[in-house]
């Protein structure tokens, strides 16, 4: 029983895309691409805030002796 290939998901109507190519002479090339939705941007911001608050809470505690 062969499985049919899964079709690509349709793009989110508000997604943001970025493509980048970095070349070093003719020998080396690095390509990168990314895509994110507005909800993803908010999630990254909240995660960054929570990590920063956790680090800020740990720093003063480590200096007390």
Query: What is the structure's pLDDT at 50?
Result: 96
Other Cβ atoms closer than 10 A to 19: 9
Q: Distance between terminal CA atoms of the chain?
A: 68
Q: What is the pLDDT of residue 23?
A: 92
Structural domain boundaries in the chain: 38-65
Contact 19, 33 (CB under 8 A): yes
Query: What was the pLDDT predicted at 48?
Result: 97
Residues in the chain, total: 65
pLDDT tens digits for range 8-21: 766 677 888 899 99
Tell me what pLDDT residue 62 has. 57
Average pLDDT of 48-55? Answer: 94
């Amino acid at each position: 029983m062969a499985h049919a290939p899964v079709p690509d998901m349709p793009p989110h109507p508000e997604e943001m895309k970025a493509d980048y190519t970095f070349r070093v002479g003719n020998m080396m090339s690095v390509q990168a691409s990314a895509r994110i939705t507005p909800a993803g941007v908010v999630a990254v911001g909240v995660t960054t805030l929570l990590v920063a608050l956790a680090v800020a809470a740990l720093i003063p505690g480590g200096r007390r002796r």
